[in-house]
Each structure stands twice: as C-alpha cells, then as structure tokens.
Amino acid sequence: MISLFNQSGSGRADAVVGPDAATRALSVTDVENEFVERVYTDISWWYDLFFGPTLHAGRLEAIRGLPLSAGDRILEIGVGTGINACLYPRDCRVTGIDFSASMLAKAGRRIRAHGVRNVELLEMDAADLQFEDDSFDLVYAPYVISVVPDPVQVTREMHRVCRPGGHVVVLNHFRSENRLMAWAERVLSPLTVHVGFKADVDLPEFIRQTGYEPLSIEKVNIPRIWSLVTFRKDGPAV
C-alpha cells in the first residue's frame, strides 16, 4: 500500500475500507476516453439544464468546506462548463482542466460572462496531467471520478501534483451501502454512462486501490448520496 497520507481520527473514514474491499471491482462498467469525449460532446448543450441545479447544493457545500487560504493555487479536474469556476474565492489562482473541448468552450463563455479573471482553462487528460510535481495547494475533482476510464490513475496524478501538506478532494456519487440500492446501481450503470457517469463506483475499493488514507468522508448534496472525500498529502505545509 502507498502510504502518503495521514490517517484520520474520523471513524467514518477508517471504517469505509472493509475486509472484503479487495474482492470487489470499482464498477461493472468500463469506458474509454473516446467514449467519454463523445458522450460529453453530445450532452454539453443540456448539461447545465439538468446537472446544474440537481448537483448545485453539493457544489456550494463542498466549496465552503474546502481547506482554502488566500493565494492558494487550485487545480480543478473536470472543470466541465465552468460552474465551479465562478464559486472560488477571487484571491485564489485556479486552473481548470477538461478532456472535452465542447465543455471547455462553454466554460470559457461562462467565466467571461461573469468577469472571472483568476481562472485559466486547459484541455488535458486527467490521467496524464501536464504539471510538475507539487504544483498546487489543493487539487479538486467534483463529479469526475465516476466519469473517467481509470479513477485510480487520475487520483494518483492528483496526489502527484499536490504539494506536501496540501489537500486532494474528491466529490462523487459512490455505490450505496444498502444492498438493494447497490444492486440497482449496478444494473443501471451500463445505461447511466450514456448520460455521463457510472452509477456504481465502489468507494472502499477505490480507496484500497489508490492506497491513500482519507482524512475525512462527508455526505453532501440533496439527497445526501454524494460523498466529499478529503486527503492530506504527508509533509510539512509550506
């Protein structure tokens, strides 16, 4: 196990990795970059109409809970249409990346319309970040882990570019702990990928495969079926 992160005193974070985690796959559904890009090109025109309001409570709650300080360098993974870009404190420097050119085009129009000047947008694969090690104070992936082909590789890249003492934060829907709901999510996952996400990503297995200990895990959004998972990279704060 890669042990780069501090263990938390939170019982919820410690308990999430159960003894059977190693026997489970992350999802019943596999996707490739080309498929994801095609899906998000197709849904970019209506994404804000549906996912804007339905996920916005979680966005606001997560932003309020991010460990931010004035002047922080933030990397947002999967900036999409730029909804989050307008929510960050203006005294932070934000880089937003996305694999979808059509989503980035909408993000660019959004930040210009809102007069946002502290956000830079780049087209980039989250599994192969073109940044030096330790480049950011906080790396944040909202509603992304259930979209990408390789969530573990993306998370490891997020940790690589985060500075020692900084934070990596994942906001995502994970498979329910309720057996009936979990069964339904597995059944639906091959269908939900066509509207942009896998419904059945397994949180304990995700944590086990990355090898990183979460600092905290909190439920957010309405209904509270999304999780805000925060990691802290070992090392002195700078």
Q: Give the chain's domains with CATH numbers.
A: 11-232 (3.40.50.150)
Name the CA radius of gyration of the chain, rounded: 17
pLDDT computed for residue 48 by the predictor: 84
Residue 235: the pLDDT is: 55
Helix (H, G, I), strand (E, B) or coil at 223: coil
For 205, other C-beta atoms within 10 Å of its C-beta total: 23
The DSSP line for 11-37 is HHHHHTS-TTGGG--S-S----HHHHH
Per-residue pLDDT of the chain (238 residues; tens, 9 = 90+): 233 333 333 434 443 434 343 334 787 777 777 777 787 778 878 888 888 888 888 899 999 989 999 999 999 999 999 999 999 999 999 999 999 899 899 999 999 999 999 999 999 999 999 999 999 999 999 999 988 889 999 999 999 999 999 999 999 999 988 899 889 988 888 888 877 788 889 999 999 999 899 999 999 988 888 899 999 998 544 4
Q: Is 111 helix (H, G, I), strand (E, B) or coil?
A: helix
pLDDT score of 43: 81
Instruction: Determine whether 162 is exposed, middle or buried from the number of CB atoms within 10 Å of its CB (0-12, 13-18, 19+).
Output: buried
Which pTM does this prediction carry? Answer: 0.83
Backbone torsions φ then ψ of 2, nearest 5 degrees? -75, 120
